[in-house]
Amino acid sequence: MKLIPAIDLINGKCVRLTQGDYLQKTTYNDNPLEVAKAFEGAGIEHLHLVDLDGAKAGAVQNWAVLEEICSKTNLKVDFGGGLRTTDAAQKAFDLGASQITGGSIAVKNRPVFLEWIERFGGEQIILGVDAKDEKIAVHGWQETTEISIIDFINDYINAGIQYVICTDIAKDGMLQGASVDLYKKMQLAFPKLNIITSGGVAHLEDLKELDRMNMYGAIFGKAFYEGNINLEMLANY
């Protein structure tokens, strides 16, 4: 299983939110590149980079951070937050992103998201599935829909999607463990899908449990920034 630390950006700084609430923000580091280099130094190969300003504004705000991390590390960066157009998607790749994640756009502008899959390929586009009570949430989790996540994923698998990041909003930032039951449901429904879990990881044991479940990857953030998981643990994983 791939260990995928997250760097969430607000005003160019490394932050974390609790349950997607912009009012519950903690700033951990003013220099995201420094954090990214620390992960790389511990043997991490992948990074989940999210522009929270972009997710809220509907247009990417932190291009400079993406460019800096991609140009000054060898991390394979998946980037999301505020990507709403094909030009923006192309720019993310031009700046060095290995993959991009589309969440709100996959709900709100299906034709453009399908264009991304066709233009860039199913291996480079990650479907971002943000779930609240197993229903899709969008726009930085500020809006919940009535769309079932299973139906939503199935629709895009038929369109060529191979990777899904699934975040259970109720678990995110709570340090109460991952949404194991939800991921098991997804595995049963989509046995060939590359599922990347997100939200709730509190300790190294949570990552090991997801690994035993044969998840493709696991994103973690707050557990690292709060010191429950450290660089030595990651280096020795």
* CB proximity list for 195: less than 8 A, separation 6 or greater: 164, 166, 183, 186, 187, 215, 216, 217
pLDDT at 74 over 80: yes
pLDDT at 173 over 70: no
Rounded to 10 deg, the angle between the 86-94 and 110-120 helix axes is: 40
pLDDT at 64 over 80: yes
Segment 212-220 mean pLDDT: 97
pLDDT of residue 133: 83
Least confident of 14-18, 69-73, 151-155, 212-216: 14-18
pLDDT of residue 143: 67
Q: Out of 8, 51, 168, 172, pick the active-site residue.
A: 8
More confident residue, 45 or 169: 45
More confident residue, 56 or 47: 47
pLDDT, tens only, 21-35? 788 889 999 999 999
**H/E stretch holding 186:** helix 180-189
* CB proximity list for 13: less than 8 A, separation 6 or greater: 27, 29, 30, 32
**Location of structure tokens 């493709």:** 216
* CB proximity list for 56: less than 8 A, separation 6 or greater: 22, 82, 139, 140, 142
pLDDT at 13 over 90: yes
pLDDT of residue 3: 98
pLDDT of residue 16: 86
Q: Out of 53, 78, 130, 206, pick the active-site residue.
A: 130
Segment 11-30 mean pLDDT: 87
The Cα–Cα gap between 45 and 145 comes to: 34
Looking at the DSSP bridge assignments, the partners of residue 99 are 78
Whether residue 109 contacts residue 79, with contact meaning beta carbons closer than 8 Å, is answered with no
pLDDT of residue 172: 64
In this prediction, residue 176 has a pLDDT band, given cuts at 50, 70 and 90, of confident
Segment 37-43 mean pLDDT: 97
The Cα–Cα gap between 159 and 174 comes to: 33
**Location of structure tokens 């990881």:** 201
pLDDT of residue 48: 98
Segment 74-83 mean pLDDT: 96
Active site residue 206: no
Q: Which is the CATH superfamily of the domain at 2-235? A: Aldolase class I (3.20.20.70)
Active site residue 8: yes
pLDDT of residue 139: 58
pLDDT of residue 98: 98
pLDDT of residue 185: 95
Whether residue 72 contacts residue 37, with contact meaning beta carbons closer than 8 Å, is answered with yes
Length in residues, the chain: 237
Segment 38-64 mean pLDDT: 96
pLDDT at 144 over 80: no
Per DSSP, the residues of 150-217 read: HHHHHHHHTTT--EEEEEETTTTTS-S---HHHHHHHHHH-TTSEEEEES---SHHHHHHHHHTT-SE
Segment 173-181 mean pLDDT: 80
